[in-house]
Amino acid sequence: MALDVNAPMIPADAAPPAADRLKRRVLMTILALAWLSSVAAWAQIEWRGQSSTVLRGVFGANVVFHPVLFLGVWRRWLPLRWVDLGCLLFAAVICAACMALRLYSATHGAAIDLQPLYLWIPVIYVFTFTLRDHRWGLRVSLAILALFVVLSGPYLMGHLQDANANFTLQMLMVSAVLIGALYFFASYQQRFLRAQLTVDELARLANTDVLTQVANRRRMGEALAAELVRFARYGHVFSIVLIDIDHFKAVNDRFGHAVGDQALVALAQCVAPVLRDVDALGRWGGEEFLVVMPETGFDESLHKAQALCAQVAATTLVAGHTVTISCGVASVHAGDTADALLQRADEALYAAKRLGRNRAEGAPAAG
């Protein structure tokens, strides 16, 4: 199966479809539960006769907001980041409105209990830091805290001894400490992830051929050494295939080194689908590639090398040009070293060249 180089590219910042579907289902579940809890709480308050115009307005906003957002998530009318932001702003506005009414309007805010309301405000800050990076979380959290400070400031200055003022002041102080702690931990996590990505990238670069993006000689040497250890300890046979592009110098001389580089890249992409997941493919040097095949005897590896030759010969690699490859196959012997195994594969490769190229030859394991 050839690699489709014309396949559309997926943006780097796009979420995987499975992750997007999972998040939408989780959001729909949360919104449905929030709507049910709002309806149940509203019905209970009305039944007890504890409702008020303000509470009806708050519960009414919840009962309308959650189904609308649920529909938007379900029908994919909004990107998930806008849904997240909408939930955040809705919660902040509801809390700010309830705070203002309770502190400044004895008529409309009398039924609002500040203590349970203030317990929900820290949840807003935690949610904020889960949406994006720590800097964005800090800016939005401070903006929400500033809103609460502006709303409660005049009341605090005139009613400092009041119980509501005490609750409000404690809430603001706890919010400031919580935002600082969330920023610290979120920034630490961000730095840790960035450092981990850097380490992973360095490891990838250290083991990857820059041009073809397959394993480099260093990584292939490690794979070969690991198979030799497995063979020595447990008797697990393996084989290697040394691949060389036929007349590669002529390709460079005729079409230029840029086309030669494209041929190397295309060859790696052409060969990889023929191999198994457990096989290791890497660039050994120049136009040579090495394949390490675990748990593979000589006959099977020779057959696979012949399939590689046929696959490459039948594929137009670069700009209408075709090339062929020759393969040398060697299976492990008792007491083999990496150099001995590679030497036999190299001898088999040159035998394939002498016999006409576009073929595979091999050195079978001892009886």
Q: Are 346 and 309 in contact (CB under 8 A)?
A: no
**Is residue 8 over pLDDT 70?**
no
Measured at the CA of 159, the angle between CA 153 and CA 116, to 5 degrees, comes to: 75
Give residue 364's pLDDT band: very low, low, confident or very high (50, 70, 90). low
CA 33 to chain CA centroid, nearest Å: 29
- Long-range CB contact pairs, 252-257, < 8 A, 24+: 255/319, 255/321
**Is residue 189 over pLDDT 90?**
no
Give residue 195's pLDDT band: very low, low, confident or very high (50, 70, 90). low
Nearest to 290 by CA among 220, 350, 357, 226: 220
> What is the rounded CA–CA span in Å between residue 105 and residue 109?
5
Q: In a 3-state reduction of DSSP, which class is residue 303?
A: helix
What per-residue confidence (pLDDT) applies to 246? 94
Which residues in 354-364 are b (16+ Cβ under 10 Å) and which e? eeeebbbbbbb
Residue 35 or residue 354, greater confidence: 354
Q: Are 128 and 183 in contact (CB under 8 A)?
A: no
Residues of the chain with CATH 3.30.70.270: 217-363
Token pair in block for residue 229? 């250890």
Give residue 216's pLDDT band: very low, low, confident or very high (50, 70, 90). very high
Which pTM does this prediction carry?
0.52
**Is residue 4 over pLDDT 50?**
no
What per-residue confidence (pLDDT) applies to 157? 87
Q: In a 3-state reduction of DSSP, which class is residue 294?
A: strand
Residues in Cβ contact with 266 at an 8 Å cutoff, skipping those fewer than 6 apart: 315, 317, 318
Measured at the CA of 55, the angle between CA 50 and CA 58, to 5 degrees, comes to: 155
> What is the rounded CA–CA span in Å between residue 344 and residue 296?
17
> What is the rounded CA–CA span in Å between residue 78 and residue 75?
8
**Is residue 26 over pLDDT 90?**
no
> What is the rounded CA–CA span in Å between residue 268 and residue 212?
7
What per-residue confidence (pLDDT) applies to 186? 85
Give residue 50's pLDDT band: very low, low, confident or very high (50, 70, 90). low
- Catalytic residue numbers, as ranges: 287
Residue 253 or residue 351, greater confidence: 351
Classify domain 217-363 at the CATH topology level: Alpha-Beta Plaits (3.30.70)
* β-bridge mates for residue 292, sequence order: 240, 280
Q: Give the type of residue at 175.
A: S
